[in-house]
Amino acid sequence: MLFNLSVALGQKPNSPRVTVNLANDRGGEVANGASQTSGQVSVNGTLGTNGQISYGTDLNFAPGADAVSVNGAYRAQFGTLTAGGSAGTGFREGAFGISGGIVVHPGGVTMTSMLGDTIAIVDAPGAKGASVATGTGTRIDGKGYAVVPYLLPYRENQVAVDPHGTSMNVEMQVTSQQVAPHANAVVMLHFPTTIGTGVMFEAHMPGGGSVPFGASVSVAHQPDAGIVGQNGQIFLRGVAPVGRVDVTWGAGSDAHCGFAYTLPKPTAAMPLIRINSTCLPN
């Protein structure tokens, strides 16, 4: 007789699952008429946002041979750590292991917990902690790199970077790219970033009223730094501590203005600097 049961202990995707397998062998009856029953009870599950921690335990029982085992694994940025142990009638054992990969590329050396035949290297300067949306828990390391494993060769693969988790002073210029690599290729994907404290200028005209919505904004070495938003708001990142902002909304002499600024020293409690300025004709 066989009995099998598998049930999840919860409704969440990473809820632990209990599996029970029982077997009763009536053909193997012993002298006193008792039948032989053997089986296994297992509990397995994962923890973490991306299931980076996995665990399991097994209880095996049979006439004269009972055993219990436990195992666990942690998938870190640099590799996967595994550990386990078991004990039973007449034996005890344990094991520990580490696996992963090392990729050497023009930007240096990047470690990864998983590696395939066809991979991509994400280059996002300064974006430490940003996650790569591959479902594997991959994050940008301190040097601005991450390895994306298991790309499908000769097909469009979308590689996306989620800025959540990185510094508030880093802005991703591109968050998603598509690549169709050759088999066994190592593809370099550059994700440009702008690093610096965010500054929100609220620019007003001398006689009152806001600078025109949609006007072009330029700063030193950035002729197309941005545009004016509603209520004269101008958001810039990575500007010099001291400088000048020029605004243009037409070709006439009365269709441009500018203002000088000096940024205060940013603090942890002030991730965004706000400055009210009067935009004077120039």
Q: Taken in order 22, 25, 30, 32, is the CA torsion positive or negative?
A: positive
Note the pLDDT of residue 7. 86
Same domain, 142 and 226: no
Residue 191 CA, distance from chain mean position: 14
Pairing status of strand 216-219 against strand 222-227: antiparallel
Q: Taken in order 21, 26, 31, 33, is the CA torsion positive or negative?
A: positive
Note the pLDDT of residue 55. 92
What is the Cβ-side half-sphere exposure of residue 11, based on CA atoms within 13 angstroms? 0
Residue 138 near residue 220, CB atoms below 8 Å: no
Give the end of a domain, one of 160, 195, 230: 195
**C-beta contacts of 33-38 below 8 A and 24+ residues apart:** 36/62, 36/63, 37/63, 38/62, 38/63
Give the end of a domain, one of 97, 119, 146: 97
CA distance 82 to 98: 6
Among candidates 116, 85, 90, 87, which has minimal Cα distance to 103? Answer: 116
Note the pLDDT of residue 251. 87
CA distance 65 to 88: 7
Among candidates 188, 199, 205, 222, which has minimal Cα distance to 274? Answer: 199
Same domain, 165 and 208: no
Q: What is the CATH number of the domain that holds 153?
A: 2.60.40.2610
Same domain, 110 and 50: no
Same domain, 43 and 60: yes
Strand partners, 260: 244
Give the end of a domain, one of 172, 195, 218: 195
Number of structural domains (the chain) is 3
Q: What is the CATH number of the domain that holds 209?
A: 2.60.40.2070
Which two tokens mark 185? 């290729």
pLDDT, tens digit only, all 282 positions of the chain: 788 888 888 888 778 899 988 887 765 555 555 567 788 889 999 887 777 889 999 998 887 778 999 999 988 777 788 999 999 888 899 999 988 889 999 999 998 888 889 999 999 999 998 988 865 678 899 999 999 999 999 999 999 999 888 888 888 989 999 999 999 999 999 999 988 888 999 999 998 889 999 999 999 888 888 999 999 999 998 888 999 999 999 988 889 999 999 998 876 666 788 999 999 998
Q: Residue 150: exposed, middle, or buried by beta-carbon count in 10 A (0-12, 13-18, 19+)?
A: middle
Three-class secondary structure of residue 67 per DSSP: strand
Note the pLDDT of residue 195. 87
Same domain, 84 and 113: no
User: Which domain covers residue 172, as residue numbers?
Assistant: 101-195
Note the pLDDT of residue 213. 94
CA distance 130 to 143: 12
Nearest-Å Rg of the Cα atoms of the chain is: 30
Same domain, 160 and 123: yes
CA distance 172 to 273: 19
Same domain, 44 and 11: yes
Q: What does DSSP assign to residue 182?
A: P
CA distance 115 to 75: 13
Angle at 78 between CA 174 and CA 156, to 5 degrees: 40
Same domain, 164 and 236: no
Residue 164 CA, distance from chain mean position: 8
CA distance 228 to 217: 7
Same domain, 84 and 122: no
Same domain, 47 and 106: no
